[in-house]
């Protein structure tokens, strides 16, 4: 009887591992496809830096009700663009409209316990807004953006408060 219980538990654990691996493969395939779509959408500009591991934390102007989402964050010579996987959504910011970068731990009441990349910019209508992303290397993203857009101010890393509240 004990052997049967152990075999059932082992079988359940093995099934869960296989299901998780399948989901991970599907997610990676979807993100690779989204990276190709991002390259097509940004053409003829070439992507100079990107990650398919980005997580969107929302726009400051839309408040706390937004869903976070995984997707591709891409940087070209003239634009920073995010392409969310599900639901399909794009956030595109011309580099000349980016005013400031910050690295908060909180955004719109959400956190992953790590620094985020917060991008403050001016909209087409002249209003101020901001978007935040979790990316694997915030310092590298900051360096790449400021290299292409020298007018961008980089805020000194400070407290862990949520500036979007």
| Residue 161: pLDDT band with limits 50, 70, 90 | very low
CB distance 110 to 67 below 8 Å: no
Domain of 106: which CATH number? 2.30.29.30
| Residue 91: pLDDT band with limits 50, 70, 90 | very high
Return the HEC string of the chain. Answer: CHHHHHHHHHHHHHHHHHHHHHHHHHHHHHHHHHHHHHHHHHCCCCCCEEEEEEEEEEEHHHHHHCCCEEEEEEECCCEEEEEECCCCEEEEEEHHHEEEEECCCEECCEECCCCCEEEEEECCCCCEEEEEEECCCHHHHHHHHHHHCCCCEECCCCCCCCCCC
Burial class (CB in 10 A: 0-12, 13-18, 19+), 111: middle
| Residue 101: pLDDT band with limits 50, 70, 90 | very high
Report the chain's mean pLDDT, rounded to a whole number. Answer: 86
Separation between Cα atoms, residue 148 and residue 108, nearest integer Å? 27
Which residues neighbour 55 within 8 Å (Cβ) at sequence distance 6 or greater?
A: 68, 69, 70, 71, 112, 133, 134, 135
Which range of residues forms the domain containing residue 18?
A: 2-154
pLDDT more than 70, % of the chain: 90
Residue 120 lies in a domain: yes
Residue 162 lies in a domain: no
pLDDT at 162 over 60: no
Tally of domains in the chain: 1
Q: Which residue has the higher pLDDT, 142 or 33?
A: 142
Residue 124 lies in a domain: yes
pLDDT digits (tens, 9 = 90+) for 44-74: 888 899 998 899 999 999 888 788 889 999 9
| Residue 157: pLDDT band with limits 50, 70, 90 | low
Length of the chain: 165
Residue 54 lies in a domain: yes
């Amino acid at each position: 009887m004990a052997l049967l219980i152990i075999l059932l538990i082992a079988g359940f654990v093995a099934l869960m591992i296989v299901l998780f691996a399948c989901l991970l493969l599907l997610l990676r395939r979807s993100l690779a496809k989204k990276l190709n779509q991002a390259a097509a959408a940004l053409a003829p500009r070439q992507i100079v830096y990107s990650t398919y591991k980005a997580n969107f934390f929302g726009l400051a102007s839309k408040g706390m009700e937004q869903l976070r989402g995984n997707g591709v964050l891409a940087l070209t010579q003239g634009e920073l663009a995010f392409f969310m996987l599900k639901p399909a959504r794009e956030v595109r910011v011309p580099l000349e409209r980016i005013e400031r970068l910050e690295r908060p731990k909180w955004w719109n009441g959400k956190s992953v316990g790590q620094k985020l990349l917060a991008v403050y910019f001016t909209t087409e209508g002249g209003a101020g807004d901001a978007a935040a992303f979790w990316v694997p290397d915030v310092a590298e993203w900051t360096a790449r953006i400021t290299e292409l857009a020298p007018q961008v101010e980089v805020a000194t890393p400070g407290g862990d408060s949520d500036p979007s509240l």
